Structure 1
Amino acid sequence: MKPTDAELEILHVLWANGPSTVRQVHESLSQSRDIGYTTALKLMQIMHEKGLLSRDAESKSHTYTAAVSEEDTQRGLVDRFVETAFKGSASKLVMQVLGQHKASQQELEEIKQLLNQLNNEHN
């Protein structure tokens, strides 16, 4: 399931901070953008219905946890993006990204290691 941009923001908060109340998520989101508490609450309720969040209703203020992993979500978003924007070509995506954004030396080393690993797996 592809989360919306607003849902993805909430997931990022929960992935970084772990189980949180709506108030805690709202406070975190409010640091970077203007979002009302009731908007955050409604979004999180919808996300719970969609299965993106789990909710612990034991205490007075419900605690929400991401029900999807960051890695799986990123993988799904990237797969869909590659299919729709680059007609399934991962190399076109990589060339576009590296052409538009300056990668650090460490990032380039990580990319080289990944390419070597993938090359070894294919041989």
Structure 2
Amino acid sequence: MKKRPALSKGEMEVARVLWELGEATVRQVHKNLPADRNIDFVTVQTYLRRLAAKGYLRTTTQGRIKVYHPKVKPQTVIRESVSDFVSRLFDGESLPLVRHLIEERGISNDDIDELRSLLDRLKKENS
């Protein structure tokens, strides 16, 4: 499959709203953006067009209105974005990213327990 171009911060924000709605018009996406975000209608329209051009959305027409539909699942976009990020910043190594996140942002005891369980399970699977 051809690699899709990465999403800008604004495109990602609009894509999240569309994933949440399932399908939507520009007006519906614009209305469902967080209230503190002051993105105008035309900008939302531009982001949706770019997302479609990049292969993340497909469109249908209902009368004279264009309806946007997700073409790529959020988990796929997350996987591709994280993979690209890890490749560029950490030379493809995951542990430095995990270490950085834990040291810079901290981690709760509950998260430590969950991480320990995950590591135990992964160690058992690798044995």
* TM-score (normalizing by structure 2): 0.85
Unmatched tracts of structure 2, length 5 or more: none
Aligned in 2, Cα 1:115/1:59: closer, same or farther, shift over 3 Å?
farther
Match in the other structure for 1:110: 114
Unmatched tracts of structure 1, length 5 or more: none
* Match among 85, 90, 112 for residue 86 of structure 1: 90
Kindly provide the amino acid, as one letter, of the partner of residue 115 in structure 1.
Answer: L
- 5 Å matches for 1:15-94? 15-29=19-33, 31-94=35-98
Match in the other structure for 2:99: 95
Aligned in 2, Cα 1:69/1:94: closer, same or farther, shift over 3 Å?
same
* TM-score (normalizing by structure 1): 0.87
Report deviation, 1:116: 2.4
Q: Distance in 2 between matches of 1:106 and 1:25?
A: 36
Q: Distance in 1 between matches of 2:18 and 2:109?
A: 30
Q: Distance in 2 between matches of 1:96 and 1:82?
A: 12
Q: Distance in 1 between matches of 2:36 and 2:69?
A: 21
Q: Share of identical aligned residues, percent?
A: 28
Q: Secondary structure at the match of 1:35?
A: coil
